[in-house]
Amino acid sequence: MPSATLLGQALISGVLAGGLYGLLAMGLSLSWGLLRLVNLSHFALAFLAAYIVYELGTSYHVEPWWSAAMVVPLMFAIGAGQHWLFDRFKVNELASLLITFSFAVILEVAIQLYWTADFRRYETEYATRSIKAGPFYIPVLELVLCIVAGLLAWGTWLWLRRTYVGKALRAAAEDPAIAAAYGVDHKKLAYLLSGIGAAYAGIAGTFIALIATLAPAQIWAYLGVVFAVVIIGRLGNPMGALLAGMLIGASESIAMAVLSPAWAPVVSFSVLIAILLWDPEWL
C-alpha cells in the first residue's frame, strides 16, 4: 500500500486530470441529452484542434491562447455544419452514432496523412510549472483547465437553467412537432448548441495539445472513458459531466497508484457498470 502522501498526490492529479474528461464530456453530453445526437467525432474534432494549435505553435510560434481564439470559432462552424447534415436528413440517434463514427475515421485519416502517425509533443514553458501546496504538487496547466472547465460548465448550466433555452430544447427533444407548435424555434437553438458543443471540443483540444502527446490513434483513447463520464454525469447536464469526469479521474489515478498504470482503463467502466446497476434516481 502506497503512503498517504502518494495517495493524496494521486487524488489531486486524478481530479485535475479528470477535468479534461469533464471538458470533453460536456459537449457530448449537451448534444446527446438535448439534441438526441451522439457525436463520436467529438474526439476527432478535439484532436484536430490540438493538432492545429500544435502546428501554429511549433511552425509559426503563435501563443496557444491566440491559437485557441482561432480554433474555437472554427470548431463552432464545423459543429454547426455537422448539424446541418443531421437536420437535412432527419438523422436519429443511432444513425448519428454511425455517421459521426465514420466522420471521425475520415478525420483520423486526414490527420494521419498531414501530420503522419508519429507521436508529436508541443513543448511549452507552461507544461512543467506547478504550485507546491504542503507536500503536494499542483500542475498549473491542469489547474487552469479545471478552472476553465468549471466556469464553462457553470455558465452553460446557468444558461440552460435560467433562460428558456434549456426547457425549449428539452421539449424539442421530447417531441419536436409539439414544441414547434408552441413556438419553440428548435432549429436555430439546435445549431447554436451543436456549435457550442464543438467549440468545447476546440477548447479541450487546446489543452490536449499542451498537456498530452499527440498521435492520430489517440483519438480513440478517450472514447470509452468520456462516454462513461457522460452517462454517469447524466445526459444534458454540464455540471454533472464535469463532476463525473473528476470522479473517474480520481478513481483511475488511485487505481494506478494502488494497482498498476496499465489497469486504469478498466476503472471507468467498472464505475459505469456499477452505477448503471445501482440505477439511482438522479441518473
Partner 1 sequence: MAVNAGRDLPKLGAVIAIGVLALLPMARLPAFYDSFLYLVFFWVSLSTSWALLSGFAGYFSLGHAAFFGVGVYVTADLTTKFGWPFLATLPVAAALPALLALGIGAIVFRLRRLRGELFALLTLSVTFVIATIILNTPIDGGGGIFMSAVPLPAIMPTPTGSIYLLGFVICVATLAIAWTVAHSRLGMGLFAIHDDEDVAEAKGVPTLRYKLIAFALSAGIAGAVGGVHAMYVGFITVSGTFELTVPLYVVLMSVLGGARNWFGPAIGATVITVLLYAFISGGEAMIGRAIVGVILISAILWLPDGAVPAAKQWLARRRRVPAHPPPAAVAPVVPPARPVGERALLQVRGAAKRFGGLQALGGVDLDVREGEILGLVGPNGSGKTTLINVISGFYSLTSGTVTVAGVEIGNLPAHEIARRGVARTYQIPRPFVNMTVLENVVLAATFGNPSRPAAETRDEALHWIGFTGLSGKEAVLPGGLNLHERKFLELARALAAKPKLLLLDEVLSGLNPAEVDNAIRLVRAIRAQGATIVFVEHLMRAVVELSDRIAVLNEGKLFALGAPREVMRDPRVVSIYLGKAYAA
- Of the candidate spans 9-17, 97-105, 156-164, 173-181, the one that interacts with partner 1 by CB under 8 A turns out to be 97-105
Q: Which of 99, 189, 198, 247 binds partner 1 (CB under 8 A)?
A: 99
Nearer to partner 1, 152 or 225 (CB): 225
Closest CA to 68 of 143, 148, 137, 8: 148
Neighbour-count burial of 101, counting CB atoms closer than 10 A to its CB (0-12 exposed, 13-18 middle, 19+ buried): middle
From residue 77 to residue 96, the character string flagging contacts with partner 1 as x (rule: CB under 8 A) and all else as - is: --------x---x-x-xxx-
Taking residue 169's Cβ as centre, other Cβ atoms within 10 Å add up to 23
Q: Which of 6, 62, 223, 256 binds partner 1 (CB under 8 A)?
A: 223
Neighbour-count burial of 256, counting CB atoms closer than 10 A to its CB (0-12 exposed, 13-18 middle, 19+ buried): middle
Near partner 1 in 225-244, by CB under 8 A: 227-228, 231
Q: Which residues lie below 8 Å from residue 198, measured CB to CB, with a gap of 6+?
A: 27, 42, 45, 75, 76, 78, 79, 80, 82
The answer to whether 71 and 53 are in contact (CB under 8 A) is yes
272 binds partner 1 (CB under 8 A): yes
Grid cell locating 24: 470533453
Report how far residue 175's alpha carbon sits from residue 180's, in angstroms, rounded to the nearest whole number: 9
Minimal distance in Å, beta carbon 63 to partner 1? 33
Q: Which of 15, 24, 38, 149 binds partner 1 (CB under 8 A)?
A: 38
262 binds partner 1 (CB under 8 A): yes
Neighbour-count burial of 192, counting CB atoms closer than 10 A to its CB (0-12 exposed, 13-18 middle, 19+ buried): middle
| Beta pairing partners, 166 | none
From residue 6 to residue 35, the character string flagging contacts with partner 1 as x (rule: CB under 8 A) and all else as - is: --------------------------x---
| Beta pairing partners, 138 | 131
Q: Which of 58, 112, 124, 130 binds partner 1 (CB under 8 A)?
A: 112
98 binds partner 1 (CB under 8 A): yes
Nearer to partner 1, 2 or 261 (CB): 261
Nearer to partner 1, 150 or 170 (CB): 170
Binding site for partner 1 (CB under 8 A): 32, 38, 85, 89, 91, 93-95, 97-99, 101-103, 105-106, 109-110, 112-113, 220, 223-224, 227-228, 231, 260, 262-263, 265-266, 269, 272-273, 276-277, 279, 281, 283
